[in-house]
A and B are shown apart, each in its own frame.
Chain A
Amino acid sequence: MVNEEYRGTQQWSRDKQAVFAVVWISFLTAAMGTMVFFALFDPVDLSGIFDEDLEIGRDAGYAAGFFFFWFLCALCSGVTAFLVRTAPKRNAKKRQR
C-alpha cells in the first residue's frame, strides 16, 4: 500500500532529465576547463587583445570565461542530447509488433 505512494512516482520526465543532465554536466566540464584555462592565461593579459581600450578586471575575466565555457559545453551536450533523443528509432515497426 505504501508502495504505491512511493514507486514509479518520483521519476522525472525525459525532457527534464535531459535538460538537467545537460546543465549539470556542462557546468562540471566548464568548471574544469576554466580552471585549466586560467591557470595558463591571466585574464588581465587577455583583456587587451580584442579591443585595446577594453580593460577587464580579473574577477570579471574569470566570470566571463566560466560562463563562456558553460555556454559552449551546454550547447555541445545540449545539441548532442537533442540529436540522440530525436533520432529515428531502429526497427521501430518491428518493435511495435
Chain B
Amino acid sequence: MNKPQGASMYASADKIYPREIGGRFDKLSRLATIVLLGLFYTIPWLNWDERQAVLFDLPARKFHLLGLTLWPQDFPYLAMLLMIAAFALFFFTALAGRLFCGFACPQTVWTEVFIWMEQWTEGKRAQRIKLDKAPWSWNKLRRKGSKQILWITFSMWTGFTFVGYFTPIRELGADFMALNVGGWTLFWGIFYGFATYGNAGYMREQVCKYMCPYARFQSAMFDKDTLIISYDEERGEPRGGRKRSVDPREAGLGDCIDCQLCVQVCPTGIDIREGLQYECIACAACIDACDSIMDKMDYPRGLVRYTTENALHHKKTHVLRPRMLVYATLLLILITGLMTSIAMRTPVILDVIRDRNTLYRELPDSMVENIYTLKIINQDERPRSFSLSVEGIDGITLDGVDDVINVDGGGVLSLPVRVRAHQDDAYGIMTIHFSVTAVDDEGVSVIEDSRFLGPTP
C-alpha cells in the first residue's frame, strides 16, 4: 500500500516480535497446543473396523464417524452440532471469557507452533530483531532459510492432513510418496497449507484484531462475573521504578514497577494496565510475565491475574446467574436431543408420497385402489433386504410389491405401490400405516402414515 506519509492515521504494519515468557500459563498453552494439534494430526490415521475412523467422504457423499455412517439426509445432525458448538462458545465465554481464544482457537494454536519454529531457527526476541535489521549474510540466509523450510514443510503436512479428513489418508500417503497426487486433492492440500502458512506465519494476531468476528462479538456475552485477565489497578498504582530494598508503601508507590514486561510479551501489542480491550485474546502471557517480576521483587503474585470485574471491586462473583442457566439449559437440551436421536436412529427411512393425480380408483368386486410412491432409504453401508406391509383398514392389501425388497448400501429405492381395500371398509378419508422392516433384523423398522381415500358412502 503506497500512501504518502501522513495520509493515514495509522502507521504501516510493523512486525510484532513477541517476547517469550515461561510460566504456568505458558506451560498450559503448550500443553493445549500439543494435545489439540496432536489430535488433529493423528485422528485421520485411526481406524475403526478396517476403515478410517473419521472420514468425511465427500465424493461418496457419506460421513464416517467411528461406527456411525451419516448420509446427506442426516443433515439435521450437523445443524444441531453447529448449534451446540455455538451455545458452548456462548456458555464458556460468559463463564470464562476468551479462554477459547487464548488456548484452543486454531489460529492461536498454529501460531504458537510457527513461533516455536521461528525461535528454533532465528533465536530469541532480541536476536530476531537484530537479524531482521542486519544486512543479508550467510548466517541470515541460513537462519531465514531453515525457518522457511520448517514452516513450509509443516504447512504441507497440515494441508495433507486436512485433505486426509476427506480422502482416505493411507492411500493418500502412498500416492504422496509416489508423487502421484493430483487434481482437486492437490489443490485443496496446497490451499489449506498455504492458508496455514499465511495465517500462522505472518498474520498471526492481526487475524484476531481485524478479521475475527468473535473477537468483536464476545463483549456482548461478557458481564461483571465473567473471568477476565485484568491488572489490579488499586494494588499497582501509582506505578514506578524502585529498588528492591525500597518499601513501596513508604515511597508512596503501588506494586507495579513499570517494567513493561507485560507489554513486551503481549502478542497483540496492548497494555493490559489500560483495562480490558477487545484486542486481548486472553493468552495470559502478561500474567506469567508479571508473576515472574513479582517473584523477583518478593511481592505476592497476581498483580495481573484471572479475575472478574466484581472481584476487582471487592464484590462477590456469581457463577450461577440467569445467563449461565439459560445457556446451560439450552446446551443440555440440544446435547440430549442429539444423543437420543442418534441412539434411536434406525438405519432405514421411509417416505410416502400419495399420487396426486387420482383420488382413488374403483375396481370390479367393489374394491378401491389408491396409488403411492414409496421411497426407501437404506442408511446402512451394506445392501439390505426389507419387507413391506400396510395396515389400518380391515383386509387392506398391497399390490405390485415383491415379498423381499433389496436396497443398496446407502441407496434410495423408489417404489410405486397399489393399495387395495374393500369399499365397505374404506370410505371417506382414512389413515393407513406403511411399515418397512429389515428381513435380517426386526429392530430395524419404520412406520410412516398416509391417507387412503375411498368413495363417500
Contacts and interface: CB of A to CB of B under 8 A. Distances in A.
B243 interface: no
Interface string A1-20: 01100111111111111001
Contacts of A71: none
A2 B78 contact: no
Given A10-B13, A12-B10, A13-B10, A42 B210 contact: no
Given A21-B210, A39-B72, A39-B75, A13 B3 contact: yes
Given A20-B210, A21-B211, A7 B72 contact: no
B260 A10 contact: no
B1 A16 contact: yes
Q: Which of A12, A15, A16, A17 has the most C-beta atoms of chain B within 10 angstroms of its own C-beta?
A: A12
Contact of B263 (A7, A21, A57, A59): A7
Interface in A15-36: 15-17, 20-21, 24-25, 28, 35-36
A92 to B, nearest CB: 16
B340 interface: no
Contacts of B196: none
A39 B263 contact: no
Contact of B206 (A10, A25, A42, A62): A10
Interface residues of A, number: 31
Nearest to B184: A59
A15 B266 CA distance: 25
B263 A24 contact: no
Size category, B interface? 35 or more
A57 B207 CA distance: 35
The majority secondary structure among interface residues of chain A is helix
Given A2-B260, A40-B75, A59-B183, A12 B210 contact: yes
B398 interface: no
Nearest to B167: A59
A22 B209 CA distance: 14
Nearest to B3: A13
A58 B184 CA distance: 10
A92 B61 CA distance: 56
Nearest to B195: A27
A60 interface: yes
Interface string B405-424: 00000000000000000000
Contacts of A10: 13-16, 206, 268-269
B67 interface: no
Given A21-B211, A24-B211, A40-B75, A58 B58 contact: yes
B11 interface: yes
A10 B72 CA distance: 45
Q: Which of A6, A20, A62, A63 has the most C-beta atoms of chain B within 10 angstroms of its own C-beta?
A: A6
B213 A25 contact: yes
Nearest to A12: B13
Contacts of A6: 16, 263-264, 266, 269
Nearest to B72: A39
Given A10-B269, A59-B184, A24 B207 contact: yes
Interface in B6-21: 8, 10-16
Contacts of A36: 75
Given A12-B210, A15-B1, A62-B58, A39 B12 contact: no
Given A25-B211, A63-B184, A2 B263 contact: yes
B10 A11 contact: yes
A42 B61 contact: yes
B210 A58 contact: no
A20 B204 CA distance: 13
B199 to A, nearest CB: 9
Contact of B78 (A7, A15, A25, A39): A39
Given A13-B8, A20-B206, 10 more contacts: A2-B263, A3-B263, A3-B271, A6-B263, A6-B264, A7-B271, A10-B269, A11-B10, A12-B210, A21-B210
Interface of A: 2-3, 6-17, 20-21, 24-25, 28, 35-36, 38-40, 42, 57-60, 62-63
The 3 closest A-B CB pairs, nearest first, are A59-B184, A9-B14, A24-B211
